[in-house]
Amino acid sequence: MTMTRDSRVPTDGRAGGSPVPTSTRATDRLAMAHDASHYLLVPAAVATPRTADDVAALFRVSHESGVPLTFRSGGTSLSGQGVTDGVLADTRAAFRAVEVLDGGARVRVQPGATVRTVNAHLARHGRKLGPDPASEIACTIGGVIANNSSGMACGTEQNTYRTLDSLVVVLPSGTVVDSSADDADERLRHDEPELWQGLLQLRDRVRGNAQSVRTIRRQFSMKNTMGYGVNALLDHDRPVDILTHLVVGSEGTLAFIAEATFRTVPLLPAAATGLAIFPTLRAATGALPELVGAGLATIELMDATSLRVAQTLRGSTPELSALQVEGQAAFLIEYLARTPEEVAGQRAASAAILDGLDLAAPVRLTVDPRERAALWGIRKGLYTSVAGARPSGTTALLEDVVVPVPALLDTCESLLELFDRHAYRESVIFGHAKDGNIHFMLNESFEDPADLERYQRFTEDMVDVVLGNDGSLKAEHGTGRIMAPFVRRQYGDELHDVMRRIKALFDPRGILNPGAVLSDDPLSYVHHLKQTPTVEPEVDRCVECGYCEPSCPSQHLTLTPRQRIVLRRETARARAAGDVALVAELESDYGYEGLDTCAVDGMCQVACPVDINTGALVRRLRGDRVGPVQEAWWDRAARHWGTVTRGAGTALSVAGTLPPVAVTGVTRLGRRALGADTTPLYDERLPRGGAARRPVPAADPDAVYFPACIGTMFGPEPDGAGVSAAFLTLCERAGVTVRVPREIADLCCGTPWKSKGLAAGYERMTRRVLPALWQASDSGRLPVVCDASSCTEGLDTMRRLADDPSGPWSALRFVDAVEFAHDRLLPGLTVTAPLGSLALHHTCSSTQLGSNAAATAVAARIAAEVALPVDWGCCGFAGDRGLLHPELTASATAREAAEVTRRSHDAYASVNRTCELGMSRATGHSYVHLLELLESATR
Ligand X SMILES: Cc1cc2nc3c(=O)[nH]c(=O)nc-3n(C[C@H](O)[C@H](O)[C@H](O)COP(=O)(O)OP(=O)(O)OC[C@H]3O[C@@H](n4cnc5c(N)ncnc54)[C@H](O)[C@@H]3O)c2cc1C
- DSSP lists the bridge partners of residue 927 as 908
By CB under 6 A, is residue 436 in contact with ligand X? no
**What is the nearest approach in angstroms of ligand X to the Cβ of residue 784?**
38
598 binds, among ligand X, ligand SF4, none (CB under 5 to 8 A by kind): ligand SF4
**Pairwise CA distance, residues 354 & 291, whole Å:** 8
644 binds, among ligand X, ligand SF4, none (CB under 5 to 8 A by kind): none
552 binds, among ligand SF4, ligand X, none (CB under 5 to 8 A by kind): ligand SF4
Between 120 and 878, CB nearer to ligand SF4: 878
In the complex, which residue's CB is closest to ligand X?
Answer: 143
Q: Give the other-Cβ count within 10 Å of 850's Cβ.
A: 10
Compute and round to an integer the Cα radius of gyration of the chain. Answer: 29
By CB under 6 A, is residue 506 in contact with ligand X? no
Q: Are 676 and 881 in contact (CB under 8 A)?
A: no
Task: Out of 87, 122, 137, 257, name the contact with ligand X by CB under 6 A.
Answer: 257
Task: Out of 28, 90, 192, 476, name the contact with ligand X by CB under 6 A.
Answer: 476
**Pairwise CA distance, residues 753 & 678, whole Å:** 9
**What is the nearest approach in angstroms of ligand X to the Cβ of residue 79?**
8
Between 223 and 756, CB nearer to ligand X: 223
Between 431 and 716, CB nearer to ligand X: 431
- Classify each residue of 661-674 as buried b or exposed e, where b means 16 or more C-beta atoms within 10 Å of its C-beta: eebbeebeeebeee
316 binds, among ligand SF4, ligand X, none (CB under 5 to 8 A by kind): none
76 binds, among ligand SF4, ligand X, none (CB under 5 to 8 A by kind): ligand X
Between 257 and 498, CB nearer to ligand X: 257
Q: Which amino acid is at 656?
A: G
* Cα dist from 424 to 417, 419, 420, 456, whole Å: 10, 5, 6, 13
HSE-CB of 222 using CA atoms within 13 angstroms: 31
**Pairwise CA distance, residues 202 & 756, whole Å:** 62
Task: Out of 144, 696, 844, 897, name the contact with ligand X by CB under 6 A.
Answer: 144
Task: Out of 33, 40, 78, 567, name the contact with ligand X by CB under 6 A.
Answer: 78
Q: Are 562 and 548 in contact (CB under 8 A)?
A: yes
* Cα dist from 823 to 701, 843, 863, 935, whole Å: 16, 20, 18, 15
Q: What is the phi/psi pair of residue 431, to 5°? A: 155, -170
Site string for ligand SF4, 597-636 (x = CB under 6 A): -xxxxxxx--xx-x-x-xx--x------------------
By CB under 6 A, is residue 316 in contact with ligand X? no
Site string for ligand SF4, 495-534 (x = CB under 6 A): ----------------------------------------
Q: Are 923 and 908 in contact (CB under 8 A)?
A: yes
Between 618 and 855, CB nearer to ligand SF4: 618
Q: In what order do the strands lie in the sheet with 164-170?
A: 98-101, 106-109, 256-263, 164-170, 176-178
Q: Are 665 and 655 in contact (CB under 8 A)?
A: no
Closest listed residue to residue 243, CA positions, set 253, 252, 251, 254: 254
By CB under 6 A, is residue 540 in contact with ligand SF4? no
* Cα dist from 933 to 570, 721, 726, 928, whole Å: 49, 11, 9, 8
Task: Out of 22, 62, 91, 679, name the contact with ligand X by CB under 6 A.
Answer: 91
Environment class of 624 (CB within 10 Å of its CB; exposed 0-12, middle 13-18, buried 19+): exposed
Q: Which helix (H) or strand (E) holds 243?
A: helix 239-247
**What is the nearest approach in angstroms of ligand SF4 to the Cβ of residue 590?**
13
Q: Which amino acid is at 912?
A: N
HSE-CB of 667 using CA atoms within 13 angstroms: 20
**Pairwise CA distance, residues 868 & 911, whole Å:** 14
**What is the nearest approach in angstroms of ligand SF4 to the Cβ of residue 886?**
15
Q: What is the phi/psi pair of residue 845, to 5°? A: -75, -35
Between 350 and 554, CB nearer to ligand SF4: 554
Q: Which stretch binds ligand SF4 (CB under 6 A): 505-513, 560-568, 803-811, 847-855?
A: 560-568
431 binds, among ligand SF4, ligand X, none (CB under 5 to 8 A by kind): none
Query: Which residues in 562-581 contact ligand SF4 (CB under 6 A)?
Result: 562, 564-565
By CB under 6 A, is residue 147 in contact with ligand X? yes
Task: Out of 518, 543, 776, 825, name the contact with ligand SF4 by CB under 6 A.
Answer: 543
612 binds, among ligand SF4, ligand X, none (CB under 5 to 8 A by kind): ligand SF4
Between 258 and 543, CB nearer to ligand SF4: 543
Query: Which residues in 54-73 contact ligand X (CB under 6 A)?
Result: 70-73
107 binds, among ligand SF4, ligand X, none (CB under 5 to 8 A by kind): none
- DSSP lists the bridge partners of residue 397 as 442
Contacts of residue 457, Cβ cutoff 8 Å, sequence gap at least 6? 422
Between 603 and 934, CB nearer to ligand SF4: 603
* Cα dist from 486 to 18, 442, 824, whole Å: 42, 19, 63
**What is the nearest approach in angstroms of ligand X to the Cβ of residue 398?**
7
Between 284 and 566, CB nearer to ligand SF4: 566
74 binds, among ligand SF4, ligand X, none (CB under 5 to 8 A by kind): ligand X
Here the contacts of 731-734 (C-beta below 8 Å, separation 24 or greater) are 731/705, 731/825, 733/825, 733/828, 733/829, 733/938, 734/824, 734/825, 734/826, 734/827, 734/828, 734/829
By CB under 6 A, is residue 228 in contact with ligand X? no
Environment class of 312 (CB within 10 Å of its CB; exposed 0-12, middle 13-18, buried 19+): exposed
Query: Which residues in 97-136 contact ligand X (CB under 6 A)?
Result: 111, 133-135
Three-state SS sequence of 644-690: HHHHHHHHHHHHCCCCHHHHHHHHHHHHHHHCCCCCCCCCCCCCCCC
Q: Are 111 and 259 in contact (CB under 8 A)?
A: yes
By CB under 6 A, is residue 75 in contact with ligand X? yes
**What is the nearest approach in angstroms of ligand X to the Cβ of residue 476?**
3
By CB under 6 A, is residue 558 in contact with ligand SF4? no
Query: Which residues in 232-251 contact ligand X (CB under 6 A)?
Result: 251
Q: Which stretch binds ligand X (CB under 6 A): 77-85, 262-270, 818-826, 918-926?
A: 77-85
Straight-line distance from the first to the last Cα atom of the chain, in angstroms, rounded to the nearest whole number? 68
Task: Out of 32, 61, 428, 545, name the contact with ligand X by CB under 6 A.
Answer: 545
By CB under 6 A, is residue 761 in contact with ligand SF4? no
Task: Out of 43, 74, 431, 680, name the contact with ligand X by CB under 6 A.
Answer: 74
**What is the nearest approach in angstroms of ligand X to the Cβ of residue 410?**
24
Q: How far is CA 652 from the centre of its chain?
A: 38
Query: Which residues in 117-176 contact ligand SF4 (CB under 6 A)?
Result: none
553 binds, among ligand X, ligand SF4, none (CB under 5 to 8 A by kind): ligand SF4
Strand 329-337 to 298-302 pairing: antiparallel
By CB under 6 A, is residue 610 in contact with ligand X? no
Between 37 and 159, CB nearer to ligand SF4: 37
By CB under 6 A, is residue 519 in contact with ligand X? no
* Cα dist from 492 to 30, 216, 247, 855, whole Å: 38, 11, 21, 59
Point out which residues bind ligand X (CB under 6 A): 35-36, 70-78, 81-82, 91, 111, 133-135, 139-140, 142-144, 146-147, 149-151, 251-252, 256-257, 383, 476-478, 513, 516, 545
Point out which residues bind ligand SF4 (CB under 6 A): 542-548, 552-554, 561-562, 564-565, 598-604, 607-608, 610, 612, 614-615, 618
